[in-house]
Amino acid sequence: MRFGAYIKDKMGWILLNGMGMLLLFAFLLAMGNSLSAIALIFLAWGVILAGGLIVQFQSRKKYFDRMESMIEEMDQPFLFAELMEPSWRLEDRLYRELLQRSNKAVLEEIRRKEDEQREYKEFIESWVHEAKNPITAMELLCENMENEREQPQIRRMRLELSKVEGQVDKVLYYARMEQVWKDYLIARTDLRKLVLRAVQKNRLAFQDRKMQVKIEMESCFVSTDEKWALFILDQIFSNCIKYSRDENGCVRIFSETGKNKVKLSVEDNGIGIRPEELGRVFEKGFCGTNGRSGRYSTGIGLYLTKKLCDRLGMGIRIESEYGQYTRVWLQFPESDFQKIGWEKTFQN
């Protein structure tokens, strides 16, 4: 609190005292008092007024400094009104009561919104599970019909169903993103087998685009949640397919191992990303030039991928040269599994 602002706030009180001094001056002069006596009275009045203002300013400044320090140290500043120091001033007590009533209303509104959001997420998760059942059934029917008749239309139907399933999964993972810790299990995972599963899941899409997939890695173990990591790989492969070349498309997958860490690279020879857009690919809803040039994109896939990597403690980085390639690096966090694997390697 600044002294100038305080004096400005008390200007009404100061002007009232000034008017009182003028009236007193006129009265004392009319009663025949000398100017020296009147001046002495006014001097005493001014000293008392100035001293009172200074003392009051120091007291209020200390009070508000304590309040400001308290709110800066609080983890939940919205509970400030509950922890305010009691004051003998009626004005302070009234402000505190108003803040408490306001905070109570805000907390009730927040609780209501949280309940609504939780119910919405529960509905979405329930809907996703219900929607996946007929999708799975239709995929099995298409697979049986394809084996019997080898109809290209059936393969196309299976491909489109896999796309629908991917979008449904995206909705489910988006709904659960803020509470990943409730639905994941960190365990020893063979990264090569995980990559093979992700490739198999996108097999029809790779075949439809006539893309080659080269897996240049040996088995290595990382600690991660298999289901969430599979979803991350699925989103990366989906982008490789979506932004691939019209012919001779290729995806190269390899790993690099180091002391207590494993890095996985997924590299394609697709259309690439413009340099000015590379830093925004993880932004929610960002589609870029590629997403607006006939390849429909929601701008959610990489956003979800980055968020889930952060939740799982994984690093992710994208390199690209427009018109040449795009390379995605995934770095898995350090773990005892990796450390044990490296110790065995050195011993051998």
Asked if residue 212 has pLDDT above 90, the reply is: yes
The model's pTM: 0.58
Q: Residue 115: what pLDDT?
A: 78
Tell me: the pLDDT tens digits for 284-299? Answer: 888 877 766 655 667 7
- Residue 328, φ and ψ in degrees, nearest 5: -110, 125
Q: Residue 113: what pLDDT?
A: 81
Q: Residue 328: what pLDDT?
A: 96
Confidence category of residue 317, pLDDT binned at 50, 70, 90: very high
What's the token pair of residue 313? 């403690």
Asked if residue 327 has pLDDT above 70, the reply is: yes
Strand pairing report for 250-258 and 187-190:
unpaired
| Locus of tokens 């991928």 | 305
Asked if residue 334 has pLDDT above 70, the reply is: no
Q: Burial-class residue 261 by CB neighbours within 10 Å (0-12, 13-18, 19+).
A: middle
Domain boundaries, the chain: 189-202+214-348
CB 138 within 8 Å of CB 156: no
Span of 1-10, 50-59, 150-159, 244-253 with lowest mean pLDDT: 150-159
Q: Residue 5: what pLDDT?
A: 82
Percentage of the chain with pLDDT > 90?
19
**Dihedral, 238, 240, 246, 251 alpha carbons, nearest 10:** -130
Q: Residue 335: what pLDDT?
A: 56
Asked if residue 232 has pLDDT above 90, the reply is: yes
Q: Residue 109: what pLDDT?
A: 83
Q: Residue 194: what pLDDT?
A: 94
With vertex at residue 264, the alpha carbon angle to CA 258 and CA 266, rounded to the nearest 5 degrees, is 150
Q: Residue 342: what pLDDT?
A: 35
Confidence category of residue 133, pLDDT binned at 50, 70, 90: low
CB 219 within 8 Å of CB 188: no
Q: Would you tell me how many other CB atoms lie within 10 Å of the CB of residue 332?
A: 25
User: DSSP label at 299?
Assistant: S
- Mean per-residue pLDDT for 247-266? 89
Evaluate the CA torsion angle 326, 331, 337, 339 in order and state its sign.
Answer: positive
Q: Residue 337: what pLDDT?
A: 45
Tell me: the pLDDT tens digits for 165-210? Answer: 777 777 777 776 666 555 677 888 999 999 999 999 888 889 888 8
- Mean per-residue pLDDT for 313-317? 91
User: For the domain with range 189-202+214-348, which CATH number is right: 3.30.565.10, 3.30.365.10, 3.40.50.720, 3.30.413.10?
Assistant: 3.30.565.10
Element (H, E) at 300: none
Task: Choose the most confident range, by mean pLDDT, from 152-166, 242-256, 332-346.
Answer: 242-256
Shortest CA distance to 237 belongs to which of 279, 285, 197? 197
Span of 15-29, 32-46, 65-79, 289-303 with lowest mean pLDDT: 289-303
- Mean per-residue pLDDT for 10-39? 84
What's the token pair of residue 6? 């305080």
Q: Residue 198: what pLDDT?
A: 93
CB 304 within 8 Å of CB 173: yes
| Locus of tokens 């009275």 | 41
Average pLDDT for the chain = 80
Which residues have CB under 8 Å from 38's CB, separation 6+? 25, 28, 29
With vertex at residue 226, the alpha carbon angle to CA 220 and CA 228, rounded to the nearest 5 degrees, is 130
- Mean per-residue pLDDT for 65-85? 76
Which residues have CB under 8 Å from 214's CB, separation 6+? 250, 251, 252, 253
- Mean per-residue pLDDT for 94-117? 81
Strand pairing report for 325-332 and 315-321:
antiparallel
Q: Residue 58: what pLDDT?
A: 86
Distance CA 283, CA 276 (A): 14
- Per-residue CA distances from 9 to 94, 278, 340, 345 (Å): 19, 53, 70, 75
Asked if residue 303 has pLDDT above 80, the reply is: yes
Q: Residue 60: what pLDDT?
A: 81
Helix boundaries (H) for the chain: 3-9, 11-30, 35-73, 80-83, 90-149, 152-176, 191-201, 203-208, 226-242, 288-291, 301-312, 336-347
CB 290 within 8 Å of CB 252: no
